[in-house]
Amino acid sequence: MLDKIELAEKNFKNEVVTVKSLESLEELRIKFLGRKGIFTELFEEFKQLPSDEKPKYGQVLNKAKSSAQKVFDELKGKLEKSESEKKVYIDLTLDGREVELGSKHILTQTLDEIKQIFKGLGFSIYEGPELESDHNNFEMLNFPADHPARDMQDTFFVNDNFLLRTHTSPVQVRLMENKQPPIRALMPGKVYRNEAISAKSYCLFHQVEGLYVDEDVTFAELKGTLVVFLKQFFGEDVKYRFRPSFFPFTEPSAEVDVWWQPKGKEGRWLEILGCGMVDPNVLENVKIDNEKYVGYAFGMGVERIAMLKYGVGDIRVFFDNDKRFLKQF
């Protein structure tokens, strides 16, 4: 037993002088002082000795382990101090590093500009949850369970009753259920659709919807509001047109196109938003008197608006986080 203790002490002293880093010191600790280390094994063997021999060898073994532990602790302190000094060392002769200030993402800038325009027209901002019920996302907006218009929006369902909202229209539902007219509101937020990712479509995008409900609201007011927005956002010389369309929650409905003329390429009309007069069934669903009140609604994709204004040809670059693209804005 005594020979094994002396051999353990000798091996420890020989190996400790080769330690130059905290990593190698940890390896040494595991080998000699760890739960399955050499000194632990010696103590296990010590337990098997006859009672009359334990006092003789116990004192020697305890002294050997305590000595090794003391050497380990002192060396660890020196190495940690050395490592700490290396980390805090600063070479004052080096050139300073330029601090780069971040900026708002181009989509955030676009959304802020849209919100500011509509705030100036008297709209208040409202937001709602991205995880919505089928009831709010479809049924309350005149989409019955078997309505073919549901196929217009490929949906991410979480279960039979809940889904990732396909538009921000459920915020309109929540608002009208809890607030009586007059209502003039803007609802921005993320929406999700199970679409194939391409240059023109993405599974996630940002949408802004507007709602105005009051007495004697007309389609002319809707058109006038949107024309003011288009001219403030794209400039006074913007070319636009309104086309008849269909949406389950508005009647009559229209889509708005803007003339897009990229440099060196042939111009064409691009659809940027949908709009219309709120269907009386929707008002009835939220317990608003559709004989007394009328409303209009509109919705637009922020990515589409930004692509049109800044000449971006691929929607995917908004989500790639490429600094070369983002620095341009």
Average pLDDT in the 303-322 region?
A: 88
74 and 11 in a single domain? The answer is yes
Range picked from 8-17, 34-43, 104-113 for highest mean pLDDT? 104-113
Average pLDDT in the 257-264 region?
A: 80
Q: Are 296 and 277 in contact (CB under 8 A)?
A: yes
Q: Are 39 and 68 in contact (CB under 8 A)?
A: yes
154 and 277 in a single domain? The answer is yes
pLDDT beyond 90 at 194: no
Mention every residue, 6+ apart, whose C-beta is less than 8 A from residue 233. 113, 114, 117, 305, 309
193 and 250 in a single domain? The answer is yes
Average pLDDT in the 270-293 region?
A: 94
Tell me whether residue 141 is in a domain: yes
Q: Of 62, 88, 114, at which residue does a domain stop?
A: 88
Average pLDDT in the 79-98 region?
A: 75
Q: Are 321 and 327 in contact (CB under 8 A)?
A: no
136 and 253 in a single domain? The answer is yes
**CA-CA distance, 187 to 128, in Å (whole number)?**
8
DSSP conformational letter for 48: T
Q: What is the pLDDT of residue 91?
A: 74
Average pLDDT in the 207-220 region?
A: 96
Tell me whether residue 94 is in a domain: no
Higher pLDDT, 241 or 76: 241
303 and 253 in a single domain? The answer is yes
83 and 114 in a single domain? The answer is no
Q: Are 297 and 185 in contact (CB under 8 A)?
A: no
Q: What is the pLDDT of residue 136?
A: 92
Distance of CA 47 to the CA centre of its chain: 59
Q: What is the pLDDT of residue 16?
A: 84
64 and 183 in a single domain? The answer is no
Tell me whether residue 101 is in a domain: no
Tell which residue, 16, 4, 72, has the closest CA to residue 40: 4
pLDDT beyond 70 at 53: yes
81 and 116 in a single domain? The answer is no
- State the total domains in the chain: 2
Q: Which domain holds residue 230?
A: 106-326
Per DSSP, the three-state class of 148 is: helix
Q: Of 42, 58, 88, at which residue does a domain stop?
A: 88
Q: What is the pLDDT of residue 220?
A: 96
**CA-CA distance, 155 to 164, in Å (whole number)?**
7
> Is residue 153 very low, low, confident or very high in pLDDT (cuts 50, 70, 90)?
low
In degrees, to the nearest 5, what angle opens at C-alpha 315 toward C-alphas 313 and 319?
A: 135
The mean pLDDT value of the chain amounts to 87
Q: Are 173 and 136 in contact (CB under 8 A)?
A: yes
pLDDT beyond 90 at 214: yes
310 and 162 in a single domain? The answer is yes
**CA-CA distance, 283 to 295, in Å (whole number)?**
9
pLDDT beyond 80 at 189: yes
CA-to-CA separations, 68 to 10, 37, 65, 260, in angstroms, rounded: 10, 12, 5, 80
> Is residue 86 very low, low, confident or very high in pLDDT (cuts 50, 70, 90)?
low
114 and 83 in a single domain? The answer is no
Against a cut of 0.85, is the pTM above it? no
Residues of the chain with pLDDT > 90: what percent?
Answer: 45
79 and 111 in a single domain? The answer is no
> Is residue 67 very low, low, confident or very high in pLDDT (cuts 50, 70, 90)?
confident
